[in-house]
Amino acid sequence: MVTRVRDRGLAEQGSLKVYWAERHMPVLMNLRRRYKGSGLFKGLRIGCVLHVTKETAVLALALRDAGAEVYLAASNPLSTQDDVAAYLAEQGIEVCAWRGMSSDEYWGCIRGVAEASPDLVTDDGGDLHSLLHSEYLDKASSIIGGTEETTTGVIRLRALEKEGLLRYPVIAVNNAYTKHLFDNRYGTGQSTFDGIMRATNILIAGKVVVVAGYGWVGRGIAARARGLGARRVIVTEVDPIRALEAVFDGYEVMPMSRAAEIGDIFITATGNRDVIRREHFLKMRDGAILANSGHFNVEVSVKDLEELAVEKKRIRPNVDEYTLPDGRRLYLLAEGRLVNLAAAEGHPSEVMDMSFANQFLALKYLYQNRGRLPPRLMNPPLEIDRGVAREKLAAMGIEIDELTPEQKKYLESWRT
């Protein structure tokens, strides 16, 4: 893999950013200190396809310090922090990532990771796992194991497993409680509005916010919309249980066909395609803002918007104005890509601390159990999850109670 970044001269700026992340990632930093020089991953090539942010840098450096050769490509063409990528290149990480890469360049970098013959792989969204299982089966067959960071990637891996094609064991890091309950919910909840506000500088108070999808990400976004003073928060769903939860959490629930007429700001978080499409654009108010926080840029149909519009103009960084034939203007943020990473810095370091501590420990588990795990998709071992929670609480100076022996016995007994 050939290291390629936007501008190596940005390394100093990147190092300060990474320093700031390190100050806010105590659990991962403890792991980094504990395994530095231990040779835990000595001689191993670890291939990573992740958003190249200051938090990812801390993970990559922790893996390097534990002995690994790290190969890193971007998991989205718009999410790379160029100064961080430059710093990582200076630190001996093989990195292929820059903000604004084309689709061919994006895939070229991921190919570079596959061609490096990694022993362990870490992916965010499943593009690396998918490529390894289609074009690099020889490489996939010799991989010890992999991890997956996000819901969309886990869904794709489940489909791969169902067809009996998965070649190596994969830990669905997304499914760790200390990942999705915090990263997907609080991380995306806050950083989605960070992205919307950096891009537009609009006031959220008084607005009608429509959130598509009431999964972990959607509920975080809805909660923050309410906290910022949105006048109405409307949820759209396809799952009756999740829709009911949204109702009981105090939100309005309705189909997108009705919400489209009412909303000022639309935010998709479904992991699904065409959630907002032609028929919805045709009903929207002049000035409606469209943002996506789901993994891929398929949730808002950019194709429909491009076809409908008579004019398209970039009016601010990350804000494209689409004028419809009747003169109404709709504003698409970050080209429909995940707004929190493309228009802001992604999740705050404090939540990535837990996500990436899970990643580090999942890779350690896969390596230490090599040869013993079937090529299946598995949830992270509960002891890893609980250990991360315990360390996070300790880092925050929070103590909790312990079960007394009598309580333990009581909870293990069925007798009255």
Site for ligand ADE, rule CB under 6 A:
50-51, 53, 55-56, 187, 341, 346-347, 352
Q: Which is nearer to ligand ADE, 51 or 277 (CB)?
A: 51
**Least CB distance to ligand ADE at residue 229 (A):** 24
With CB under 5 to 8 Å by kind, the binding choice for 280 among ligand ADE, ligand NAD, none is none
With CB under 5 to 8 Å by kind, the binding choice for 220 among ligand ADE, ligand NAD, none is none
**Helices and strands (H, E) in the chain, number of each type:** 19, 15
The answer to whether 149 and 123 have CB atoms below 8 angstroms apart is yes
With CB under 5 to 8 Å by kind, the binding choice for 55 among ligand ADE, ligand NAD, none is ligand ADE
200 near ligand NAD (CB under 6 A): no
What is the DSSP annotation of 74-142?
ESSTT---HHHHHHHHHTT-EEE--TT--HHHHHHHHHHHHHT--SEEEESSSHHHHHHHHT-HHHHHT
198 near ligand NAD (CB under 6 A): no
**Least CB distance to ligand ADE at residue 142 (A):** 27
The amino acid that residue 395 corresponds to is A
**Least CB distance to ligand NAD at residue 177 (A):** 13
In the region spanning residues 259 to 288, those forming contacts with ligand NAD, defined by CB under 6 A, are 269-272, 275
* Phi-psi category of residue 302: left, alpha or beta, with phi > 0 → left and psi -120 to 50 → alpha: alpha
212 near ligand NAD (CB under 6 A): yes
Helix axes 216-227, 240-248, angle to 10 degrees: 20
340 near ligand NAD (CB under 6 A): yes
213 near ligand NAD (CB under 6 A): yes
Residue nearest ligand ADE, CB atom distance: 346
H or E segment to which residue 145 belongs: strand 145-148
Instruction: Choose which of 76, 81, 184, 358 interacts with ligand NAD (CB under 6 A).
Output: 184
The stretches of 228-348 forming alpha helices (DSSP H) are 240-248, 256-262, 278-281, 302-308, 339-342
With CB under 5 to 8 Å by kind, the binding choice for 53 among ligand NAD, ligand ADE, none is ligand ADE
With CB under 5 to 8 Å by kind, the binding choice for 236 among ligand ADE, ligand NAD, none is ligand NAD
Please give the size of the binding site for ligand NAD, defined by CB under 6 A: 29
- Give the list of residues 6+ apart from residue 23 with CB closer than 8 angstroms, or none: 349
DSSP 300: B
Instruction: Choose which of 53, 76, 81, 188 interacts with ligand NAD (CB under 6 A).
Output: 188
Q: How open is the CA angle 153-106-163, to the nearest 5 degrees?
A: 35
Which single residue is written with the structure tokens 């370091």?
349
**Least CB distance to ligand ADE at residue 241 (A):** 26
Residue spans of beta strands (DSSP E) within 191-344? 208-212, 232-236, 252-253, 265-268, 289-292, 311-316, 319-323, 329-333
**Least CB distance to ligand ADE at residue 346 (A):** 3
Can you give the binding site for ligand NAD, defined by CB under 6 A?
150-152, 180, 184, 188, 212-218, 236-239, 242, 269-272, 275, 293-295, 338, 340-341
